[in-house]
């Protein structure tokens, strides 16, 4: 009982929407929707696996029906499956559905997009991502998928017992170019999406594309209690602080995202700052895949948002302790249905968690690794590459940037035909602007850019 009371206590004070009404607060419509989702997530996380799967298949049946009716790609791909809407969707039927590869999304293009979005799902947007393979894909999102993203963000805060009155800092890519050094971007809350449901303390953000030493100096000025950034960037920050004997006394917890987290970084975080590190597992096109369980280092799949499968090479389901490829189905994206999508990552399945949640467990995630780019003056920073901009230059199917020397980059590409001289020059200009240094760049072309011998893919590799 005390466990559930701790979780629910975070939801006791939503943002009031009426003048003079402080307690009990009456939230606005947007906040009410979010609090309703959180209430449902609070219940469903304790369901047993059988009940969770039954609910997933009910929702997946709606996605299958819609995809076959309204998307040209799935109208053809699912035309001969034995299941028909109205029939129970079972694990056996589900296992017969074909996997969706990144190459399939690239080839399908707009044929994967729905021509008749269901009423109430809101406006659509588009995202482009290379995920953990360096292969850019473009998918549509909706207001519904955004709402689900926010709900699982709030679930993450609640699981971690975050103090919503504290200060939150983020060092990540700045899509709007408003968080440059030295000031970064300051906000009254942790973000509009979060503050709409629950009141929070202030937030701050700094662009990732600045030298690590500047990250540390900026953090020291923020007096933030929580920090979120990428694992490779955090490791560089921690090593700089260790070398310079820098402590951040106000820091309570660090969270990492988007990349492979090495266990040594958890240990380094405790050694240098004396605070815990919590990891999350997401991808842009599918949202939250798994969140770290409080008090443990393993992860819980977010089964209310996705069907997450971990499969052997023969397509069978892996057992606890085994590692397989991660396949996800988005249960709420009707704009670009992603059904049994092989995202290119690998995970090790775990035993049921002592916390009592029925959500599936992953012991370990193996995804994208990332190095830090090094400039001739010794500065290091986390590189970010624009998949959308790459796609405007040429239909690039896969890429990898390799730093060979302090002044030289090798641009490895998988394309249907080699780039023209003009296209290569545009790539050089784009990367020079993005990286802030006039590197000498050479281009190499491949049929496929493989993972490393350890199974990781690096869209940026440091070979100095």
| Tens-digit pLDDT profile for residues 240-278 | 999 999 999 999 999 999 888 989 999 999 999 999 999
**Phi, psi dihedral angles at 367 (to 5 degrees):** -130, -135
- For residues 216 and 224, what is the distance between their CA atoms, to the nearest angstrom? 12
Q: Specify the residue for token string 């994967």.
A: 112
Exposed (0-12), middle (13-18) or buried (19+): which is 423, by Cβ within 10 Å?
middle
Buried b (16+ CB within 10 A) or exposed e, 4-41: eeebeebbeebbbeeeeeeeeeebeeebebbbebbeeb
Closest listed residue to residue 344, CA positions, set 136, 84, 73: 136
- For residues 321 and 117, what is the distance between their CA atoms, to the nearest angstrom? 40
- For residues 289 and 142, what is the distance between their CA atoms, to the nearest angstrom? 18
Exposed (0-12), middle (13-18) or buried (19+): which is 283, by Cβ within 10 Å?
buried
- For residues 108 and 461, what is the distance between their CA atoms, to the nearest angstrom? 30
- For residues 327 and 311, what is the distance between their CA atoms, to the nearest angstrom? 7
Both tokens of residue 30?
Answer: 């947007």
Cα dihedral value 309, 312, 317, 319, nearest 10: -110
Q: Specify the residue for token string 């991808």.
A: 283
- The predicted pLDDT at position 404 comes to 93
Closest listed residue to residue 441, CA positions, set 414, 402, 397, 386: 402
Sign of CA dihedral 261, 264, 267, 268: negative
- The predicted pLDDT at position 192 comes to 56
- The predicted pLDDT at position 133 comes to 74
CA distances to 59, 81, 83, 343 from 95, rounded to whole Å, are 16, 11, 12, 17
- For residues 300 and 307, what is the distance between their CA atoms, to the nearest angstrom? 12
Closest listed residue to residue 325, CA positions, set 304, 338, 339, 343: 343
Element (H, E) at 240: helix 231-244
Both tokens of residue 152?
Answer: 């699982």
When computed from its CA atoms, the radius of gyration of the chain, rounded to whole angstroms, is: 22
Cα dihedral value 344, 350, 355, 360, nearest 10: 50
Residues 6+ apart with CB under 8 A from 362: 281, 290, 298, 299, 300, 301, 310, 347, 348, 349, 350
- The predicted pLDDT at position 8 comes to 43
- The predicted pLDDT at position 149 comes to 94
Asked if the bond preceding 182 is cis, omega within 30° of 0, the reply is yes
Sign of CA dihedral 349, 350, 352, 357: negative
DSSP codes joined into one string, 402-449: EE-SSSEEEEEEE-SSPPPHHHHHHHHHHHHHHHTS--EEEEEE-S--
- For residues 343 and 132, what is the distance between their CA atoms, to the nearest angstrom? 7
- The predicted pLDDT at position 456 comes to 67
* pTM for this entry: 0.86
- For residues 209 and 216, what is the distance between their CA atoms, to the nearest angstrom? 13
Is the separation of the CB atoms in 220 and 187 below 8 Å?
no
Query: Cα angle at 392 between 72 and 452, to 5 degrees?
Result: 85
- The predicted pLDDT at position 7 comes to 42
Q: Which domains does the chain have, with CATH numbers?
A: 2-44 (no CATH), 49-147+284-366 (3.40.50.12780), 385-462 (3.30.300)
- The predicted pLDDT at position 328 comes to 98
Closest listed residue to residue 441, CA positions, set 379, 373, 382: 373
Residues of the chain with pLDDT under 70: 1-13, 131-132, 192-196, 453-456
- For residues 87 and 357, what is the distance between their CA atoms, to the nearest angstrom? 29
Is the separation of the CB atoms in 435 and 389 below 8 Å?
no
């Amino acid at each position: 009982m005390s466990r559930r009371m701790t979780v629910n206590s975070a939801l006791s004070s939503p943002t009031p929407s009426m003048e003079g009404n402080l307690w009990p607060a009456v939230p606005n419509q947007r906040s009410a929707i979010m609090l309703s989702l959180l209430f449902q997530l609070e219940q469903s996380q304790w369901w047993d696996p059988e009940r969770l799967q039954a609910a997933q298949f009910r929702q997946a049946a709606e996605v299958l029906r819609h995809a076959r009716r309204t998307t040209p790609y799935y109208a053809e791909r699912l035309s001969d499956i034995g299941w028909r809407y109205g029939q129970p969707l079972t694990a056996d039927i589900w296992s017969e559905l074909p996997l969706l590869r990144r190459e399939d999304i690239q080839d399908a293009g707009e044929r994967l997009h729905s021509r008749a979005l269901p009423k109430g799902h809101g406006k659509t947007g588009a995202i482009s991502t290379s995920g953990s393979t360096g292969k850019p894909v473009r998918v549509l999102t909706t207001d519904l998928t955004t709402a689900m993203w926010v709900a699982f963000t709030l679930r993450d805060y609640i699981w971690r017992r975050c103090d919503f009155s504290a200060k939150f800092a983020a060092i990540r890519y700045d899509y709007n170019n408003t968080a440059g050094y030295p000031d970064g971007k300051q906000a009254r809350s942790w973000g509009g999406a979060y503050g709409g449901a629950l009141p929070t303390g202030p937030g701050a953000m700094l662009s990732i594309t600045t030298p690590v030493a500047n990250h540390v100096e900026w953090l020291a000025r923020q007096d933030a209690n929580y920090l979120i950034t990428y694992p490779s960037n955090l490791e560089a920050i921690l090593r700089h602080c260790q070398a310079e004997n820098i402590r951040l006394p106000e820091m309570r917890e660090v969270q990492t995202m988007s990349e492979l987290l090495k266990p040594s970084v958890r240990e380094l975080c405790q050694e240098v700052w004396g605070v815990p590190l919590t990891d999350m597992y997401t991808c842009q096109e599918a949202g939250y895949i798994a969140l770290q369980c409080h008090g443990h280092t393993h992860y819980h799949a977010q089964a209310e948002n996705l069907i997450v499968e971990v499969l052997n090479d023969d397509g069978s389901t892996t057992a606890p302790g085994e590692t397989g490829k991660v396949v996800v189905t988005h249960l709420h994206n009707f704009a670009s249905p992603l059904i049994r999508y092989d995202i290119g990552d690998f995970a090790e399945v775990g035993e049921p968690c002592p916390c009592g949640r029925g959500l599936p467990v992953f012991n370990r995630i193996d995804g994208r690794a990332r190095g830090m780019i090094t400039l001739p003056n010794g500065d290091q920073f986390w590189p970010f590459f624009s998949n959308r901009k790459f796609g405007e230059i040429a239909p690039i199917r896969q890429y990898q940037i390799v730093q060979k020397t302090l002044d030289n980059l090798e641009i490895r590409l998988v394309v249907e035909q080699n780039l023209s001289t003009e296209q290569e020059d545009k790539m050089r200009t784009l990367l020079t602007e993005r990286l802030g240094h006039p590197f000498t760049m050479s281009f190499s072309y491949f049929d496929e850019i493989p993972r490393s011998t350890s199974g990781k893919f690096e869209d940026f590799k440091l070979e100095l």
